[in-house]
Amino acid sequence: MHFFTALFASALLAGLALQLWLLGRQVRAVRAHRDRVPAPFAASVSAEEHARAADYTIAQAKLSSLERAAGAAILAILTLEGGLAAIDAAMAAAGLEGLPRQLAVIAAVILLTVLASLPFDAWRTFRIESRFGFNRTTPRLFAADFVKGLALGSAFLLPLVALFLWLMARAGTRWWLWAWAVWAVFTLLVGWAWPRFLAPLFNRFRELEDGVLRTGVEALARRCGFEPRGVMVMDGSKRSTHGNAYFTGIGRTKRIVFFDTLIEALSPAEVQAVLAHELGHFRLHHVAMRMAGSLAAGLAGFALLAWLGRQGWFQPALGVPDGGPHMLLLLFVLTAPVFLLPVGPLAAWLSRRHEFAADRFAALHADARSLASALVRLYRDNATTLTPDPVYAAFHASHPPALARIARLLPARAE
């Protein structure tokens, strides 16, 4: 067995074991605290609501465990068991040659992985979300979303991949720099186009209705240097009763989006406080920083990809004895997450720092108590656990636990 085969197989197994251990810890921690609401939330969250959040979190974690195990099995079959090589051979046997064959193989593998995640998505939506009263997605909407997502993904990804394959064949030893430049332009273009042209394919966006809420929101946005027309309401209620708000876009497509479900649940002061938090992400350049980070990581990724392409052992060690540039791309994209596992907690930690910073910004520009009460309502209505396992949360949580955020917003009250 090649050294790299052994390294990949052990990293895959160790990664899966770690993920299952973390999910197990999360289930045990949430179950242990199921019957007692943490003291700081005793007045705002009922015992039933707290128990329901625990059951919901546990159901999600169990499904995630299954999904992780299935994902690792599929990856092992595609690589070590020769699945990719078999798909490649099948396309060759069908008479495909050159670029069309390379694209057909990549499209088949993408389709396969998308189909493999479909039962899990359906179970999540129609069993778990429905059981806890969150789901509003009909089977028809679910199917429409799936088809639209697949069509949109193919329309963008396949030309991009074709361009990569062409550069690999024609652009000489520095092909990876060109490929990175193409990828960087593509990333920026999608980041710019998403809020304005692509998200509306899935949801309806409207401006806030005239009234007290809009007046307050416009004034606050202006004070923070944000174009008030960029504050939009999305029909999130079309798919679920979960509420949320987010900041997205580049340049003139910058947007702060409120789910209609959130606007309905919060008081005007709470909406302003949540808006101030999102404006914090805008003013502190969090989106730009994340994008710069991913462009830099992409450059390192393409350099590594080019280096691996020159190593004769890379593809055979991963179950492809007689591959080509398309196999190099596929193997790299499929196996990189296995080796990048330690980057996950780092990204989550950075994201939590940004959340604390946006909370601080909100406390300066709106009412800290309103943000704290909005957070409690969000955690409660979304059945987000108030008692996550600390190790699991450190590894995975993109947002700090409710208690930590409220303790920073209202230092005097959190004792």
| Active-site annotation, residues | 278, 359
Distance CA 196, CA 263 (A): 21
Q: How far is the CB of 298 from Zn ion (least distance, A)?
A: 24
Nearer to Zn ion, 59 or 358 (CB): 358
Q: Number of residues in contact with Zn ion, rule: CB under 5 A?
A: 2
Residue 106: closest CA among 158, 141, 182, 58: 158
Interaction pattern, residues 40-59, with Zn ion; x per rule: CB under 5 A? --------------------
Q: Which two tokens stand for residue 179?
A: 């490929």
Within 48-107, which residues bind Zn ion (CB under 5 A)?
none
Most distant CA pair in the chain: distance in Å?
A: 72
Distance CA 149, CA 338 (A): 25
Within 340-359, which residues bind Zn ion (CB under 5 A)?
355, 358
Q: How far is the CB of 57 from Zn ion (least distance, A)?
A: 20
Q: How far is the CB of 236 from Zn ion (least distance, A)?
A: 16
Distance CA 381, CA 318 (A): 46
192 near 253, Cβ under 8 Å?
yes
Nearer to Zn ion, 61 or 358 (CB): 358
Q: Buried b / exposed e across 135-147, counting CB within 10 Å, b at 16+?
A: bbbeeeebeebee
Amino acid letter at 281? H
Q: How far is the CB of 247 from Zn ion (least distance, A)?
A: 8
37 near 91, Cβ under 8 Å?
no
Within 221-260, which residues bind Zn ion (CB under 5 A)?
none
Q: How far is the CB of 398 from Zn ion (least distance, A)?
A: 9
360 near 400, Cβ under 8 Å?
no
Q: What is the DSSP string of 314-372?
A: HHHHTT-TT--HHHHHHHHHHHHHHHTTTHHHHHHHHHHHHHHHHHHHHHHHS-HHHHH
Nearer to Zn ion, 355 or 389 (CB): 355
Q: How far is the CB of 216 from Zn ion (least distance, A)?
A: 20
Nearer to Zn ion, 168 or 358 (CB): 358
Distances (CA, A) of 371 to 85, 193, 380, 405: 54, 30, 14, 10
Residue 386: closest CA among 370, 375, 395: 375
Counting every residue written for the chain, the total comes to 415
CA 318 to chain centre: 27
273 near 167, Cβ under 8 Å?
no
Distance CA 8, CA 72 (A): 12
Interaction pattern, residues 355-394, with Zn ion; x per rule: CB under 5 A? x--x------------------------------------
Nearer to Zn ion, 329 or 358 (CB): 358
Distance CA 91, CA 95 (A): 7
Nearer to Zn ion, 101 or 408 (CB): 408
Q: Which two tokens stand for residue 51?
A: 């128990």
The Cβ of residue 366 has, within 10 Å, a number of other Cβ atoms equal to 26
Nearer to Zn ion, 91 or 287 (CB): 287
Q: How far is the CB of 61 from Zn ion (least distance, A)?
A: 23
Residues that bind Zn ion (CB under 5 A): 355, 358
